Amino acid sequence: MGSAAASPPPSQKLTQEDLKRVAAHRAVDLVEPGMTLGLGTGSTAAHALDRLGDLLRSGALAGVAGVPTSLKTELHAARVGIPLLPLDAGTGAKICLSIDGADEVDPDLNLVKGRGGSLLREKMIEGAGDKFVVIVDESKLVPRLGCTGSVPVEVVPFGAAHTLGLIRKVFDGLPGFHARLRTVKKEAEEVPFVTDNGNYIVEMFFENGIRGDLRDISDCLLRITGVVEHGMFLGMATTVIVANKDGTVAVIEKNK
């Protein structure tokens, strides 16, 4: 993979939120008039939405529409004035470019996404486009996936406890591995977190990240009846834009 650095160091220390904004704005620079975009979900992608809205309102960018990856993104995009389209081949509008953040990026540009719960729609939309640009700050770069937190798996509610048990069997005997159903507090009671698609999320945790062939592991998980999709985005990113804490920006392209 290749990289290019840009942007001079700032005169004052940038916060993580500043870095997210820097990466998001660099990605929006790739958007051309008339494009249909995949609109990501999360705090970093939100900066891209805001920037797109600013450019559309000012007239600096025209003819752009977006396909949102979550209900939250749909509301945000509508609020800032980005025209929206469904993910529907019948519309004739092909997604040219998707812009989204990631929870983790490994050296091969594989990703963990979906800790916010939108992984299924993200994977559908970002996999449907010509290019997928990932925007992160340098804290999201990891030596292997699963190093910094959960790897989510979306499962159907029916038999979720049974599906959780089958997911655990995939990693049976792996030291430090555990998995649980994600819950939220509602009226002082812990209840399952529900995705935009009406499903549950199983969170997988690895002591030192995922070791082994990621595609084999992906296949094992997807063969489990009850699993809808997982948050490993393998080989999907075409470009990763990294905002470094010193104010520089690295643009990493996928090897052809």
What order of strands is seen across the sheet that includes strand 111-112? 104-105, 111-112, 232-233
Which contiguous run of DSSP H or E holds residue 167?
Answer: helix 160-170
Cα–Cα distances in angstroms (integers) from residue 19 to residues 7, 15, 152, 243, in the given order: 12, 6, 25, 5
Three-state SS at 105: strand
Q: Find all residues with CB under 8 Å of 217, minimum gap 6, and list them.
A: 170, 210, 232
| Marked catalytic residue, from 104, 122, 126, 203 | 122
Amino acid found at 192: P
Which contiguous run of DSSP H or E holds residue 79?
Answer: helix 71-80
According to DSSP, the residues that pair with 39 across neighbouring strands are 68, 99
Q: Residue 207 catalytic?
A: no
In terms of C-beta density within 10 A (0-12 exposed, 13-18 middle, 19 or more buried), how is residue 16 classed? middle
Cα-Cα-Cα-Cα torsion 90, 100, 71, 164, nearest 10 degrees, comes to 100
Is residue 141 within 8 Å of 103, Cβ to Cβ? no
Q: Concatenate the DSSP letters of all residues of 223-244 into one string.
A: TSTTEEEESEE-S--SEEEEE-
Instruction: Give the residue numbers annotated as catalytic, written as ranges.
Output: 122
